[in-house]
Structure 1
């Protein structure tokens, strides 16, 4: 596994307070109405950590369902999302796999577990509410099998 360390504080600071608030509002309104402000703040932090790893790894990174909800909201903000990616070293493409019939839940959990390990190896903390590697059926694999695109079309 190839990952690069990032300074946690500098990565988190790449998301402005206004964008952070908008991402939390979007996720709450579109997918998770009972989400607290604290969960929203932590969700944005977990998204930032996931993207920091996805930008630098040579392996496919797969978000948990909850992290993917924030990723979907972030990519709708095209300019700040592109700026965030550029600050991390290149654009991070979102690659959905709509062939959900081919998804094996055990494989999804394993991919998410590997991604959580990469996040920790890069110096970030993984929040168990967002990376529930030991169960939590609603969060064990990404929505529609979404992943990043390692070394595929990234601009450096």
Structure 2
């Protein structure tokens, strides 16, 4: 007889205080014209992504999906908060180095799998398709801009 132990997953939201999450989600909703419930999901996934990127040192091999990209932009637009959070979370400032050319369906699957492997809940609806640039989140870093 084998015994299985349930492994609880965590959320990106759990990486910040409730006040910080509300600040980020409200900004994301307002800045990108999103319903607040959608912005909540996006910020949750952006926090998990950036945490995995920073804690594994693999920030240059991962990228957000089109849907999650506004979340990362929201984080970095709060530069003082973001710098402090990076330092506290993984010991260094994780720079945003956009590269839309690497956003493929395969990469989005890999990114979602890495986030899941790190113990985070993954909102597959935000990672399920290859990303394409979309204004205003396009950084001018790829052929689509």
Q: If the length of structure 1 is used for normalisation, what is the TM-score? A: 0.66
SS in 2 for 1:61: coil
Once residues 85 and 58 of structure 1 are traced to their aligned partners in structure 2, the CA distance between those partners, rounded to angstroms, is 12
Structure having greater relative contact order (Cα 8 Å, sep ≥ 6): 1
- In structure 1, stretches of 5+ residues that fail to align are 1-6, 147-156
The one-character-per-residue Cα deviations of 1:17-53 (angstroms, maximum 9, x if unpaired) are 33322322322223233x2x33222222111110111
1:45 and 2:35 aligned: no
1:130 equivalent among 122, 126, 133: 126
Matches within 5 A, 1:141-156: 141=131, 143=133, 144=138
Once residues 91 and 76 of structure 1 are traced to their aligned partners in structure 2, the CA distance between those partners, rounded to angstroms, is 14
Distance 1:116 1:39, change over 3 A: same
- The alignment of Structure 1 onto Structure 2 pairs a total of residues equal to 125
Task: Report the RMSD for the aligned CA atoms in angstroms.
Answer: 2.6
Deviation at 1:82, TM superposition (A): 1.1
Q: If the length of structure 2 is used for normalisation, what is the TM-score? A: 0.71
Q: Tell me the residue number matched to 1:69.
A: 70
1:54 and 2:53 aligned: yes
Structure 1 contact 27–70 (Cα < 8 Å) conserved? yes
Distance 1:145 1:30, change over 3 A: closer
Once residues 66 and 23 of structure 1 are traced to their aligned partners in structure 2, the CA distance between those partners, rounded to angstroms, is 16
Q: Tell me the residue number matched to 2:33.
A: 32
- In structure 2, stretches of 5+ residues that fail to align are 1-8, 141-145
Once residues 38 and 107 of structure 2 are traced to their aligned partners in structure 1, the CA distance between those partners, rounded to angstroms, is 23
Distance 1:12 1:115, change over 3 A: same
Structure 2 contact 10–121 (Cα < 8 Å) conserved? no
SS in 1 for 2:67: helix
